[in-house]
């Protein structure tokens, strides 16, 4: 089988397509033939070798994929060969023609969801779901600012929050991205590059502020986010690429709360709840992953450059 291999940490060019030994399912394991693999910003951080997660070399990148079960080891009962599935992490990496998973990492994919869309489920939707509901405690009737709504987590967050009865304000940095955010169900869309956009958000909430912020770039926005919060407001830090100075006083009169999250910290029971919620939303059509770009697996390096560029538009997936 062919797989992307990283033999040394570094830039996108360290990813090379190689012939490797076929993966084989042992007890409690599943081999999935990958039809599409999702590209996430975290894949690029890991590839540099400077991230908290540092795999042993050589390794195959990728947490997300969708495809068909090729084989299942003894003790696997919830899926069988031929089933359409998406994966939530794997043992051997998803940037490959086949990936070896523990059975708990393999989840049924509803028939109405394409493989390319299935490759956008776990990290983006799982993160948005956990950030909104499990960490942020989002409730119907509240107003949420999805700060960075044009990318993978953002489009997922807009769809999830809209379906759950929140008023959704989304931001995007390009006209194309903002049109996408609107099409996903945001009630209001603003440009996070517009010097006036904080006032626009306050105007949209009639001066009250938002109940929650799902934040994709906290090192740029956290100090501003605090000034946008209504009383009892919460900021959930999803994305961050540096440091920032904030004024803690902004949290005081608002009884506000700043919370961080990393999807991979999610306890098993809450993760099971996330997958159940995502399956239901995918099946009933309220969740519709946006595939912005399909790139051949051999060009994974190009995908890693693209995912870090401004002008996000849904998700980038690799096609083996």
Q: Beta strand 106-108 with 84-88: parallel, antiparallel or unpaired?
A: antiparallel
- Give yes or no for residue 147 binding ligand NAP (CB under 6 A): yes
- Give yes or no for residue 32 binding ligand NAP (CB under 6 A): no
All residues at 6 or more sequence positions from 169 whose CB lies less than 8 Å from its CB, including other chains: 143, 144, 145, 146, 186, 187, 188, 189, 190, 201, 204, 205, 210
Q: How far is the CB of 220 from ligand NAP (least distance, A)?
A: 5
C-alpha distances (whole Å) from 181 to each of 73, 121, 149, 157 are: 42, 17, 6, 10
Smaller CB distance to ligand NAP: residue 151 or 233? 151
- Work out which of 15, 153, 212, 300 binds ligand NAP, going by CB under 6 A: 153
C-alpha distances (whole Å) from 15 to each of 21, 221, 267 are: 17, 32, 31
Q: How far is the CB of 178 from ligand NAP (least distance, A)?
A: 8
Site track for ligand NAP across 47-86, x = CB under 6 A: ----------------------------------------
- Give yes or no for residue 217 binding ligand NAP (CB under 6 A): yes
Q: How far is the CB of 170 from ligand NAP (least distance, A)?
A: 9
Query: Hey, how many other C-beta atoms are within 10 angstroms of the C-beta on 318?
Result: 29
- Give yes or no for residue 171 binding ligand NAP (CB under 6 A): yes
DSSP type of residue 212: E
Measure CA 232 to chain center: 26
Interacting residues with ligand NAP (CB under 6 A): 40-42, 123-124, 127, 147-154, 171-174, 177, 192, 216-217, 220-221, 238-239, 261-263, 307, 310-312
């Amino acid at each position: 089988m062919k797989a992307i291999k990283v033999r040394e940490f570094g830039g996108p060019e360290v990813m090379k397509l190689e012939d490797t030994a076929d993966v084989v399912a042992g007890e409690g394991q599943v081999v999935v033939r990958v039809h599409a693999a999702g590209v996430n910003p975290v894949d690029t951080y890991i590839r540099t070798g400077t991230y908290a997660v540092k795999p042993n070399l050589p390794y195959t990148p990728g947490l997300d994929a969708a495809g068909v079960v090729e084989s299942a080891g003894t003790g696997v009962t919830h899926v069988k060969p031929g089933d359409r599935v998406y994966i939530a992490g794997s043992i051997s990496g998803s940037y490959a023609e086949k990936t070896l998973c523990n059975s708990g990492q393999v989840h049924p994919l509803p028939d109405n969801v394409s493989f390319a869309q299935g490759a956008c489920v776990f990290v983006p939707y799982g993160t948005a779901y956990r950030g909104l509901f499990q960490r942020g405690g989002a409730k119907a009737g509240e107003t949420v600012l999805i700060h960075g709504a044009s990318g993978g987590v953002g489009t997922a967050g807009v769809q999830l929050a809209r379906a759950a009865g929140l008023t959704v304000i989304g931001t995007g940095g390009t006209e194309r991205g903002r049109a996408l955010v609107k099409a996903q169900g945001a009630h209001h869309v603003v440009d996070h590059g517009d010097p006036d956009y904080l006032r626009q958000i306050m105007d949209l909430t009639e001066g009250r502020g938002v109940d929650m912020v799902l934040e994709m770039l906290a090192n740029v926005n956290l100090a501003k986010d605090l000034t946008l919060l209504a009383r009892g407001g919460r900021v959930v830090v999803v994305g961050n690429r540096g440091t920032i100075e904030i004024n803690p006083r902004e949290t005081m009169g608002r009884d506000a709360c700043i919370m961080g999250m990393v999807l991979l910290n999610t306890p098993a029971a809450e993760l099971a709840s996330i997958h159940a919620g995502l399956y239901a939303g995918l099946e009933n059509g309220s969740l519709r992953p946006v595939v912005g770009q399909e790139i051949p697996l051999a060009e994974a390096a190009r995908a890693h450059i693209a995912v870090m560029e401004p002008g996000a538009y849904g998700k980038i997936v690799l096609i083996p």
